[in-house]
Structure 1
Amino acid sequence: MTQETDRLFAQPLPQIPDFVFNEAVVRVFPDMIKRSVPGYPTIVENIGVLAAQFAQPHSVLYDLGCSLGAVTQALRRHVQTPDCRVIAVDNSSAMVERCTEYLHAQDSMFQELLPVEVLEADILDLVLQPASLVALNFTLQFIQPEQRLGLLARIRQSLLPGGALILSEKLRFADDEEQALLTDLHIAFKRANGYSELEIAQKRNAIENVMKPDSLGQHRERLLAAGFSKVVPWFQCLNFASLIALP
C-alpha cells in the first residue's frame, strides 16, 4: 500500500489524454487530492461526524464513488449506531482493489467497526437499498450533467425519513470576476503545495473534458427538483464546497 508523490504531469506530454482513475492515479491519489483540493481532510473527517447524527439502526450508509475509501473509513470511525453497514461503490477496478486493502488495514487497527462491502459498479446502475446516509464526495461532477438529476432522484427515493445526502463538489461561479478570483486562488493553493506551472496546466487540460462543475445555485435547484426539501451548505474552502440535502 505504498503511497507515492504525484508526479504524473511533471514532464511535458506530447499528447494529454483525458483523466482516468487508473492504476497510475491510484498510486498517487492520496497525495494528489491532498495537494489539489483545499479542505479535503476536513471534509472527509467531518462527513463521518455528520453521518453519526443521521445514521439509523438497521440501515445502509453509502459511499458512492468511494475511490480509496477515505469517507468509508471516516464513517466507520465515527458511526456507532447499531446494525448499520457501509456499502462503498466505485467503477474503477484499481480504486476498488486498493480501497479493499486500506479497509482491511483499518480492520486490523480497530475493533467493532461497522461492516463494509466494497463493490465495483457504476453508481448509475446501482439498485439502492434503504439508506440513512448517502455520501457523494467529489463524485457527481464526473457524472454526465444530463444524468445527475436522475441519480439524485434515486438517492432521494432510497433515503429513510430523517436521513441525509452529503454532497461535496468543486464549484463554478456565475459571476465571471468571482470565478476568475477563485480559480486564481486555487492555482495559488496548488503552487503552495509544490505543483509546477506545467503540472497545473497539463492536469487542467486532462480533466477539463471529464469533470464538469456546477454552481451552488444549480446544485440547490437540482436537489430540490430531485425531491429534497432542504439544502444546507456546511463547508466551503475556495471553490470547493459540501452540502447536506435533507429528504
Structure 2
Amino acid sequence: MSDASYRDAIFSTPLDRVARFSFDEKVVACFPDMIRRSVPGYGQILGMLGLIAARHLRHGAHVYDLGCSLGAAGLALAGTLPPSAFRYTGVDLSPAMVTRAQKTLAAECPDHAMEVHEGDIRTLAYDPAGMIVLNFTLQFLAPEERDAVIDQLFQALEPGGVLVLSEKIKAADEQENAWLVERYHDFKRANGYSDMEISQKRTALENVLVPDTLAGHHERLTRAGFSRAHTWYQFLNFASLIAFKDADALAPQEA
C-alpha cells in the first residue's frame, strides 16, 4: 500500500451489516483526513503539545505517546523542541499504524530520538517518563480497565511530570449531552460527511468507543494520585486535560 493519504469514504456506501470499527489498513490510508474532519480541535491540541512540553518537560526526558496512531504528537513535539530536548516512544496496537508512523517520523524527524512500537498500553513495561500523551486512546479501553491504566501512568511519571489526556466526553445532563451530540453531527456535516456516513460510523463505534464525563476523568486522575488537573481545552464533546505529578508525590498505596 502507498503511503499516500486519502479522503475518508469508508462509510460512504450503504452497508447491510456495519462491522465494529477497527484501525485497519483502510483507516490508516485515510486517517489524517478522517481525524481532521471528525475530531473538533485536534489540530489545536497537537499545536499546544510542544508549548506544554517546553514549559513542563525536563530537558532530555522521555515522552510516551500512547495510542500514537501515525505519530502526530511526535511530529508536533519535534516541530517545537530541539533533538536534545526529549526522546519519544510511540505505542500503538495497530501494526498498520505503527509501520506508517515509523516511516513518517524517520523521514520528518531524522535528528530526533523517535521510536514507535506495537504494544498494548495495559501491559506495557514503562520506563520513567517526564510527559505522557494519551490522545483519544483511553476511550477505546473497556471502562473497567481505565483506572488501572491511569494508575500505571502515574507510577511511570517522574516527579514533576505531566499527563496530557484528550478524550471524547459525554455530559452528565442528558439534554446537554443530546445538544452536544447534535452539534457534533452538524460539525461533521459541515466537513462533508453525509447523514448515512455519520449514522453508519456511529453504529460501528457503538460499544467500541465509550466516553466518560469530564468529572469522571478528573475523579480518576485524583484517585491515581495526581495533585491537580485542569481541563485546558474543550470543543463540543471533545476535551483535553493536563494532570500534574508533584515533585514530592507518592502513589496512594505508598502514602
TM-score of the pair, normalised by structure 2: 0.93
Q: Is the 8 A contact 2:229 2:243 kept in 1?
A: yes
- Report the secondary structure of 1:152's partner residue: helix
User: In the alignment, which residue of structure 1 is the partner of 2:180?
Assistant: 182
Shift of 1:144: 1.0
* Contact 2:128–2:158, Cα closer than 8 Å, also in 1: yes
Instruction: Report the counterpart of residue 202 of structure 1 in structure 2.
Output: 200
Q: Is the 8 A contact 2:154 2:226 kept in 1?
A: yes
Q: Alpha-carbon deviations, 1:38-97, whole Å to 9, x = none?
A: 111111111122122122134210000000010111111223373621000001000001
SS in 1 for 2:158: strand
Instruction: Tell me how far apart the structure 2 counterparts of residues 200 and 26 of structure 1 sit (CA, whole Å).
Output: 19
The alpha carbon displacement at 1:208 in A equals 1.4
Of residues 109, 114, 119, the one that matches 1:107 is: 109
> Any stretches of 5+ residues in structure 1 without a counterpart?
none
Aligned residue type for 1:210: V
Number of residues of Structure 1 aligned to a counterpart in Structure 2: 243
Give the aligned partner of residue 237 of structure 2.
239
Normalising by structure 1, report the TM-score: 0.95
Give the alignment's Cα RMSD to 1 decimal: 1.2
Partners of 2:168 and 2:83 in 1: CA distance: 31
* Secondary structure of the corresponding residue to residue 34 of structure 1: helix
What residue in structure 2 maps to residue 18 of structure 1? 20
Query: 2:144 aligns to what SS in structure 1?
Result: helix
1:98 aligns with 2:96: no
- Contact residue 139 and residue 210 of structure 2 kept, 8 A: yes
SS at match of 1:66: coil
Contact 1:22/1:94 (CA < 8 Å) preserved in 2?
yes
- Structure 1 runs (4+) greater than 3 angstroms displaced: 80-83
| Letter of the structure 2 residue corresponding to residue 160 of structure 1 | E
Distance in 1 of aligned mates of 2:135 and 2:80: 17
CA distance in structure 1 between the partners assigned to 2:171 and 2:209 by the alignment: 15
Distance across 2 between alignment mates of 1:129 and 1:117: 14
**Which stretch shifts more, 29-38 or 82-91?**
82-91
Determine if contact 2:83/2:113 at 8 Å carries over to the other structure: no
